[in-house]
Chain A
């Protein structure tokens, strides 16, 4: 059968950076195709080329067997290609209906409302009918919960009748039940003849949800084939390169001097207690007050009740590029911004930039940060390297308390591993670590102790509780 989409020998450079270096990719009809790779491996670039956001420097794109030049998203939509971007693209002030009209363009305005009866049309029409569940066409987009927003994004991608759906990390923002629902919908879409490319970092999603998988590493395809022939280990090996696999084995858990009771907690208040040397994990469904609690502890948000936090506190905010770092500032400037009064570079009101630059330069190899230098703007770094800079800066404060909010969001296996190691190392050196992650398994595997946040209050997890019990508490189930 002719593949729906075929990419041959695609190459793309951005300035001096080689994003893709002769990548091949084949998407068959009725197939969910997982696209894996570390940050900066070229996954998003490859999909952007298919969607007409960039033009390839070399190579061919064939859609349904015919060679095509896709010069804009408009061309892509006309060829039946829809894309769900990594970030939400709906216009917040417009309603669901208006956003869909906007996405449909001249393809007609009939997409603005849910279909009235059971549809048995194309794959796209059927998926669309399912996605409408619980969506009000008249509701403004900015008031929607995250899961509904993500469904709106997919509806937008389908508004032009696409049967090739490109999804760039669609599950990154979703809670586990929403992820399951989304993957089930994609399966139905594929069963009725549609095809989807799913970019993700989560190996378990790939193993359970896709038919075929392609792995990119530094712009080249390192693995491509049916998922049934692969294991998480083989995928990880293809992603990070054979030499690095050894490093990915579970580490020796450093001996942690946990709760010695005579030691006063470094954080107490708001129903929360963190002691030196322990990692306390918070699990919660999005929007249950964890964001506010973390900011209160970190001292960047209002504290509603009495709370005692031992200074200094370091904060690793969820969003690297809006809260963590200033993209246009150099790494040295970002370092100093977080630690303005550090006497290594602070001379009263004056700054000794050479001292700050020397320190930042020393931090680069120490944290394995790949950057052109301490003077490079933060925006020139990949997501994983940006996160390493945020970590380096947080630890430079020699904190008593380290607050980390979704610290591995959007990171690849390698960078995730780095973050976990650093959190454990910080705890081992006597820091009290407060960790929140939207990934339940991450919290359960990294934290020494877990608490649940539901409807704004902290609920301790009874000892010996299993994953299901924690999940029930997250959803606010009665004791």
Chain B
């Protein structure tokens, strides 16, 4: 028995010793003491991680007193990071998606960056559309450091076989519809080749609403589903699916659209520029990439990745200093010199080869990236009040699914959307 008590006491002493040691290491550094920061990213290994690690090493060379440790958070990044913040074990700096900003910023989990603008970084250096995605309640909470935009991918072989001329940039929505119809093939009343495919997620359809000068929410925060532009675009896609059969079914159970396009069963695909490498690297796949169609206006979404400083950091200034370097011109130059399939968010870098360096593919050389770079300049951020709220997004998706699966009418759809989204916005 005495032996057991002694063992328990020894365990207790060891635990207290470890706890004390941990506390000494995490104590806030003073003066020239070495500062240790943690940077969280969503991938554990691979080229991107190696690239980021080399960036961290480069930063360490420049600022030897700041050490930045790489913390991988694999699978379910957003949830795990949130739980780390809640359990007070969050890293100092973290990758953050535009859709995460509202959740974190509204609960004071992120450091507002506006007070540091001009001192550590210049927000005017960044593309406006990318900055908008990281602005919540007129305050900047993260710096964008890579960006993708929307493009229309064309399967040249399908066009050749159908005898349809490959379209040029900014075709109209009517032209898109006609071309989709002309390149759709049906066998025994079943569509075996679609004219057009895109993601069955509202993020993919949103630019089309914007092209019609429509949006889901106005400047005053009121929903605008029951308006002509929104109804017109919903009807447009409904007709593509059900009247022309030139687009696959819309819904949570639809076949992944990239696979349809890659397998040569779709003539056109609207997707983000990240798909350039995946599509172009296929053998014997002749593809042309053009800008998105236009209607009343030109519109393409900016899908942006960014970095933020968590409020819980004990080294706020050091963290913001690192963030400004990492997401700034110097950091982005290193990042886009490597093979990172996205574009920079610094305006001056968009005029350089770095704007499309990551998309270059030796297997399928593509020389003209003008469309991609042009689109980046006018890309817009998806409205965070809508796209940053999972419950609102789920509601919109479900109602849209009901409409596209023909269980409710267009008027019922927009009425329900206005009613339900307004209720959720008011919560």
Judge: A and B partners, yes or no.
no
